[in-house]
Every structure is written in structure tokens, then in C-alpha cells.
């Protein structure tokens, strides 16, 4: 089980307290926020193996960039912000293995950058973080590993600060309601801490704007069942799990004030790619008069992609659909289609919440204004 926060320490774990510092913490920051998935202590990277939750809480040592890329690809770590943070530390680990007098850092580190970039295609935060690290590499110098570490720490630190800001902005949109519905996992497990959509939910619960959370199972990896429910239980926030197929009936009861989700990539017009099943929730929410909120940092916004049609959608192995925990669940000989993400049109989104502000009823002009 994660240990409790130490007041004044940015991430709350001794393993990273020495390296990742921020503003002094407020007492309210300590509530409903006890989970961390990415730990950096200045010398090593540890990742909470999310494939083994909720049965086991196990941190894996990540020794190099290849192991970081493998961890991203194999779902040890997932969630767009956490993937970007992990990749940044992966670059640090790669640089530390090289001699200080390496003549051309960019050429030598190129294969590691490519390996990390290929690990997941949809999460734009991955490429954003690698671009920041590449810019530092381009400056060269014997002290490059130290400067890369400082940049990775900054990415990690800024993510948590941004999440707290988004939590405040998103909660402010909510009128008191019995509950919200969320999909997949968008909390501390998916970020540097606090979470995007779950950050809003944490803030709303702390302000008594909601009394409980409903979480979709999120098939086929069951992130809602294994991760979101686990994370909320750790923080004492009431959560009920539902099958995806129950969402329409739940909305019909009038209990749900908002659907609150994250994003792995947001196009220039506000179309949003998120875990498969998000689009269906947006359609159901519009039909039932339930408002739909997307919460993501601006690093998730890809202004070079005009609309959702241009977002690459990762297709994962069909075995994830045809089996569960290694046991077949489908008729032998059946095929499967397993896209990991879908695209929700901007027209179905009531608000996109970022650390820079809120875009209501998003369109291209509003997204352009935000990013300026």
C-alpha cells in the first residue's frame, strides 16, 4: 500500500521527495490523493505494475530506455501523461549509460528515442515529452545527463501542478449532483499524480459537489475495474462499478450530473481520442441530457492534426478480447476487432478542461485561441 504524504513534499513518497519539489502543499492537497505510479529518486525509475492491480502492489525497477519502452508497450504504465513522464526518464537513463565526452549525443541516443516513440502511437504526450528531451539533447555538453534529468523532473512536477489546477477548474463547472460517471483510468495511476478526470472528481468530492462515482469496467483491460475502483478505494471516495452496457440505464435514473473522462489526443477542432467506449458514452450523455467533460493538459492537444480522422488509433492483439487473464472466453475460431481508442466528435463535448482554462462547446477557433 502507498504510504501517506509527508507535508511539504511534492509527491509524498520518500523515493521521489528528494528530486521532485514544488510549491508548499496545502492541507487540502493531502486529501483523497495517496497513489503514485511513477517514482524517481534521482538514481532509479520505478513503475507500479498496473497489470497486477488490484491483487498486488508491485513496483518494477526500470534500468534503461528499452525497459521503459517495453513497460509502456506492455501496459505496465499507461495513461497519456504517465507515458510521457516515463519516456522522459527513459531518456535520462539512456544518457547516463554514455561517457561524458560522447561527441554527438543526438546520434547516439537516436535509437533509444525511436524505441520510446514507437511504444504507443496514440498518446501525443509521449511525442511531446520526447520532443522536449530531444531539444535538451541538441544542446550537447558534458553535463547533458544532469540537464536531461532536470527536464524530466520538470515534466513530472508540472504535470501534478497542472492536474491540481484542472481539478479546481473542472469542479467549478459542476452543480451539486448525486454522482458522476467516468471511463477507463484517468487518475494518479495515469499521470504524475492527482489525475486529469479523476483529479476533477477528487476536487468535486472534496468540495461535496458529488457523493459518489460510477466507473465503467472498461473492457477488455478492465482499467475501470482494476485501476479506477482500486484508486478511489485507496482514497476513501465511494465508487460503484458498472458494465459498459449499464451506462444508458444509469443515466436514465437522473443520478449522473456529468460524464467526466480523459483524453490521449485532442485534435485542433476539439475532436478527442480516448479509451474505446468513450464515444458511446458521449452519444448516451447527449441523449439523456447529461453533460460531458473531457479533462486533459494542453500537452494532449495536437494542433497539427486537423480533426479526429487524422488521429492514429492503436489496434491491440485480438487475444485481449478473446481471453481474460489468459483463459479463453470466446468460441474457438471466433475473430475479434480490438481498437484501443475511439474518437468523440467535438459536437458531443460540453467542456474541455485544461490547465490553461476551460473551452466550452469546443471548435477549431476556440481551441486555437486556447493554444495561443
CA 146, CA 96: separation in Å to the nearest integer?
9
| Residue whose C-alpha is closest to residue 45's, from 139, 129, 156, 138 | 156
Burial, 161: exposed, middle or buried (Cβ in 10 Å; 0-12, 13-18, 19+)? middle
Active site residue 264: yes
| Residue whose C-alpha is closest to residue 136's, from 88, 194, 102 | 88
| Residue whose C-alpha is closest to residue 221's, from 314, 331, 293, 88 | 314
C-alpha cell, 274 = 480516448
C-alpha cell, 11 = 509527491
CA 267, CA 273: separation in Å to the nearest integer?
8
CA 217, CA 226: separation in Å to the nearest integer?
8
For the chain, strand residue ranges (E) read 38-40, 45-48, 59-62, 179-182, 212-216, 239-242, 256-261, 265-267, 272-275, 291-295, 301-302, 323-324, 327-328, 341-344, 351-354, 357-360
> Vertex 165, ends 358 and 265: CA angle to 5°?
60
Chain-centroid distance of CA 156 in Å reads: 12
Give me the catalytic one of 49, 112, 264, 271: 264
C-alpha cell, 133 = 528531451
CA 54, CA 69: separation in Å to the nearest integer?
23
Active site residues: 264
Amino acid at each position: 500500500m502507498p504510504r501517506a504524504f509527508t507535508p511539504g513534499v511534492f509527491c509524498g513518497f520518500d523515493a521521489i521527495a528528494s528530486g521532485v519539489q514544488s510549491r508548499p502543499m496545502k492541507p487540502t492537497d493531502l486529501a483523497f490523493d495517496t497513489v503514485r505510479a511513477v517514482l524517481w529518486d534521482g538514481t532509479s525509475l520505478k513503475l507500479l505494475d498496473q497489470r497486477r492491480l488490484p491483487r498486488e502492489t508491485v513496483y518494477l525497477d526500470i534500468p534503461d530506455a528499452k525497459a521503459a519502452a517495453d513497460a509502456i508497450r506492455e501496459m505496465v504504465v499507461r495513461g497519456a501523461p504517465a507515458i510521457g513522464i516515463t519516456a522522459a526518464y527513459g531518456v535520462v537513463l539512456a544518457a547516463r549509460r554514455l561517457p561524458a565526452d560522447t561527441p554527438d549525443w543526438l546520434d547516439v541516443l537516436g535509437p533509444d528515442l525511436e524505441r520510446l516513440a514507437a511504444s504507443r502511437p496514440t498518446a501525443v504526450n509521449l511525442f511531446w515529452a520526447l520532443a522536449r528531451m530531444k531539444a535538451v539533447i541538441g544542446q550537447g555538453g558534458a553535463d547533458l545527463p544532469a540537464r536531461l534529468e532536470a527536464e524530466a523532473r520538470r515534466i513530472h512536477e508540472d504535470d501534478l501542478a497542472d492536474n491540481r489546477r484542472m481539478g479546481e477548474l473542472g469542479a467549478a463547472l459542476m452543480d451539486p449532483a448525486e454522482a458522476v460517471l467516468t471511463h477507463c483510468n484517468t487518475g494518479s495511476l495515469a499521470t504524475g499524480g492527482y489525475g486529469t478526470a479523476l483529479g476533477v472528481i477528487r476536487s468535486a468530492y472534496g468540495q461535496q459537489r458529488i457523493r459518489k462515482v460510477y466507473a465503467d469496467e472498461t473492457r477488455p483491460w478492465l482499467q475501470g475495474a482494476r485501476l479506477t475502483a482500486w484508486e478511489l478505494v485507496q482514497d476513501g471516495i465511494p465508487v460503484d462499478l458498472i458494465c459498459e452496457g449499464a451506462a444508458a440505464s444509469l443515466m436514465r435514473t437522473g443520478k449522473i450530473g456529468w460524464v467526466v473522462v480523459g483524453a490521449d489526443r485532442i485534435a485542433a477542432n476539439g475532436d478527442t481520442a480516448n479509451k474505446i467506449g468513450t464515444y458511446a458514452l458521449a452519444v448516451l450523455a447527449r441523449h439523456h441530457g447529461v453533460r460531458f467533460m473531457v479533462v486533459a493538459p494542453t500537452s494532449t492537444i495536437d494542433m497539427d492534426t486537423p480533426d479526429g480522422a487524422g488521429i492514429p488509433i492503436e489496434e491491440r492483439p485480438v487475444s485481449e478480447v478473446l481471453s481474460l487473464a489468459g483463459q479463453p472466453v470466446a468460441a474457438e475460431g471466433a475473430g475479434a476487432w480490438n481498437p484501443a481508442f475511439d474518437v468523440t466528435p467535438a459536437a458531443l463535448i460540453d467542456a474541455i478542461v485544461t490547465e490553461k482554462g476551460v473551452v466550452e462547446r469546443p471548435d477549431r477557433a476556440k481551441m486555437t485561441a486556447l493554444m495561443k
